[in-house]
């Protein structure tokens, strides 16, 4: 980018997409958020296999992703990772009973998005994550910020295993989805939901 004048100092970090020094501490004991799952390792390409959400989900993630936040409440567990390439990759356990009808799961998810002020730009797109069936969404959400509302864009997959339903959420700056796709695809291809 070209600019006139300005300061040589680096801009302050964008805490929407970057971890600050205290984020791991804020997340609790982030070190126990995952356990190794070597079957999904692909170290040649920079990916490591991990088991998260108490063994509910197995995932191949980039070695340079950092744990941003962890939730441990049974039925509502989650792990959020931050990539140095300015996006968040998160996996959330959805509070759905194992035998819930697929249409009811999707209707409940969509209602939650709209009630929280989100906009469903694309919805119920048939997809797969690993060996599981999934439905993909593109969602825009307003986020309160000091200078007025900020809009985030996310690609989300509601994914169903035999026992549980999880949401995979990839939050990125608007228009940045194409640039992060090569990094995210190995994670989605290796996803296993119990």
* Distance of alpha carbon 153 from alpha carbon 171, whole angstroms: 6
92 pLDDT higher than 60: yes
**Under 8 Å CB-to-CB from 179, ≥6 apart: which residues?**
85
| Reported pTM | 0.82
Four-CA torsion 73, 193, 119, 152, nearest 10 degrees: 80
d(CA 194, CA 190): 13
| pLDDT classification of 102: cutoffs 50, 70, 90 | very high
Cβ atoms 153, 174 nearer than 8 A: yes
**Would you list the DSSP string of 128-174?**
EETTEEEEEEEEEEEE--TTS-EEEEEEEEEEE-SS-EEEEEEEEST
Q: What is the pLDDT of residues 44-82, one digit of tens each?
A: 999 999 999 999 999 999 999 999 999 999 889 999 999
Residue 97 has what pLDDT? 87
Q: Is the pLDDT of residue 2 over 60?
A: no
**Pairing, β 47-52 against β 34-36:** antiparallel
Domains and CATH numbers, the chain: 23-193 (3.40.1000.10)
Whether residue 14 is predicted with pLDDT greater than 80 in this model: the reply is: no
The region of weakest confidence among 18-27, 92-101, 162-171 is: 18-27
User: Which range, of 25-29, 67-71, 86-90, 111-115, averages the lowest pLDDT?
Assistant: 25-29
pLDDT digits (tens, 9 = 90+) for 137-169: 999 988 888 887 788 899 999 999 988 999 999
């Amino acid at each position: 980018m070209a600019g006139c004048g300005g300061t040589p100092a680096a801009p302050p970090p964008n805490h929407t997409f970057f971890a600050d020094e205290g984020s791991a501490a804020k997340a609790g004991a982030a070190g126990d958020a995952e356990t190794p799952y070597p079957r999904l390792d692909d170290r040649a390409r920079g990916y490591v296999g991990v088991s998260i959400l108490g063994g509910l989900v197995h995932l191949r993630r980039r070695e340079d992703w950092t744990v941003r936040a962890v939730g441990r409440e049974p039925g509502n567990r989650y792990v959020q990772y931050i990539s140095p390439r300015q996006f968040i990759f998160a996996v959330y356990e959805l509070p759905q009973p194992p035998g819930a009808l697929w249409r009811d799961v999707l209707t409940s998810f969509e209602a939650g998005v709209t009630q929280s002020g989100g906009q469903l730009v694309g919805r119920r797109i048939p997809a797969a994550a690993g060996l599981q069936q999934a439905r993909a969404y593109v969602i825009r959400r307003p986020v309160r910020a000091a200078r007025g509302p900020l809009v985030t864009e996310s690609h989300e997959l509601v994914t169903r295993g035999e026992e549980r339903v999880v949401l995979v959420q990839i939050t990125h700056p608007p228009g940045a989805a194409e640039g992060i796709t090569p990094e995210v695809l190995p994670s989605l291809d290796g996803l296993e939901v119990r």
